[in-house]
Amino acid sequence: MRLDKAEDWLLDLPQFTVWLKYVDDLSAKNPAKGTSAFSTLTARYGDAALYKMIEESAKFAGTKDLATKLQKDQMQYWVTTAKAPDDVFHVMDLDKVGRSILSNPEFIAWAKYVDDFNTTYPEKSALMAPVLRKSYRDGALLKMTEVAISGGGSKSVATKVQDELLRLWLSSRKTPDDALVELGLDRTVETLMESPLFSTWVKYTNAYSTKYPRETSTAIEALTRKFRDVNVARMLQKAKTTDATRSIAKQLESAQLEMWCSSGKSVDDVLELLDLRMRSDFTGDPLLNTWVSYMDRFLKENPGQATALLTKLEGTRFPGRALNQILLAAMKFPSMEKAAITIQTERIQGYLAKIRSQEKVFKWLDLDNVGGNLLHDPLFTKWMEYVTMFNQKNPKHQESWFEPIRMYYDPQRVIKTAMNDPSTVKIAKLMEMERSKYWLDEKIPPGRVFRFLDLEMSGEKTLVSSDFKIWAKYLDDFNQRYPNEKTTMIGELMANYVERVLLRISMRRRKNPAWRNWQRTCKMH
């Protein structure tokens, strides 16, 4: 048939199909002879040339179906002849693919070949990872597996490659410290946990600790050796604020506390490790939470010492604001809650005895850092009680409890937040009254108050807004107190809305009971 002269266009020849059928029929009649089309073709062209010939033919519609069948037959022939997976890898030119190899269809086909080979020859079982390591560094290979696992290739094959490589590391006793370097995770602690390879490293380190339990090789120990306690603690606090890393960060934080405890670290020792000894203000520093968490862990081993522990801090270590921040954090733990509240109450009584201003006490109690839920904070209630007692004790030096809130917060936002909580509605209304009193004392014009209340943003709902009622009352009070500065409601409304908008507001609200009240009010003004 002169097929030996065809070479690259062999699959295009009609005679080739006839020849294949002939060989298949012959093989079926005489299976003992082991006659195979591929044994003949391989002897003639060689594995690599034949593979490329079939691969090229698969690109054309006329020969695609035949080429696809022959690709499967060639793989089966290689299995039958026990061709090593490493050799097949090179025949398929997979060593030239690059970093996208794990998503390459030919690589997936090769991975299946490795499975078939191992099933047929369990005594010669082969791994994919050693073959890949000849073309890629371990760190690069693991990065490629992470990309594939997250959706950039075949997840199952990539996971298998990763597991194989980590097992090779284990068998060679690669330490977690060395693995950290291999993965390029030793360069900066700030973004360490954002790397997809970090979870791979933790997985390996846990496996290493299980296999070699006598070595100090836990993840937290390896990280501490590389980055120091304080930097690891700060990294974990940051990681807890992100959904993707929160779970593993909490696990490592618990491991860090356990590491300190098992090594006999005192509360003072950890304070030193976290570089907190000289702090006079913990505002914005998440390491306070780490330290107080360790106090809680310490007290589990030393129950009944909470009062002594916190009292020692009060007497020798921290100034007012820092100590109150510590007590506030300690109140969140059952082991210290009662002792912290007792000390806090005694301190507030001490402030009163020393006639401390309500603004200073507000800051010492760290109330300037609570946030929008200020009025719901239990310490705020205690501070309010302090202001009341202070004013009773100093009738000639009355102080407004609204002033510190105005200094450190947006009062409107605090009030709105409190109005949404039934437990703080009463204090929110009281704050509204104090705010209006402050505006009057400061002679704030009604027009500015209108904007303070964001009424210009209410649009067509202005007249039925609860803030509009507050503003209308303030307008009356202002005109009564400052008759020479008297202003009218309609004038202020016209100043904040163009006439057509005001008309639309009034037309839409004519059927609302508030309309008649507003109409009467406008006439009075």
What does the pLDDT look like over 394-444, one tens digit per residue? Answer: 888 888 889 999 999 999 999 999 999 999 999 999 999 999 999 999 999
Going from N- to C-terminal start, the domains of the chain cover 264-354, 370-442, 458-525
Instruction: Return the amino acid letter for 83.
Output: K
pLDDT at 110: 94
Handedness of CA 509, 513, 516, 517 (dihedral sign): negative
What does the pLDDT look like over 110-134, one tens digit per residue? Answer: 999 999 999 999 999 999 999 999 9
Q: Taking the CA of residue 399 as centre, how many other CA atoms within 13 Å lie in the half-sphere pointing to its CB? A: 23
* Residue-by-residue DSSP string for 70-104: HHHHHHHHHHHTT--HHHHHHHTTGGGS-TTGGG-
Q: What is the mean pLDDT of the segment spanning 469-479?
A: 90
Element (H, E) at 166: helix 155-171
* Percentage of the chain lying above the pLDDT 70 cut: 85
- Whole-angstrom distance, CA of residue 197 vs CA of residue 183: 7
Poorest-confidence range of 49-58, 118-127, 304-313, 444-453? 49-58
Q: What is the mean pLDDT of the segment spanning 466-492?
A: 87
- With 70 as the cut, is the pLDDT of residue 25 above it? no
- With 60 as the cut, is the pLDDT of residue 323 above it? yes
Its pTM stands at 0.73
Residue pair 192/239 in contact by the 8 Å Cβ criterion? no
Task: Categorize the per-residue pLDDT at 88 as very low, low, confident or very high, splitting at 50, 70 and 90.
Answer: very high
Task: Categorize the per-residue pLDDT at 493 as very low, low, confident or very high, splitting at 50, 70 and 90.
Answer: confident
| Mean pLDDT score of the chain | 84
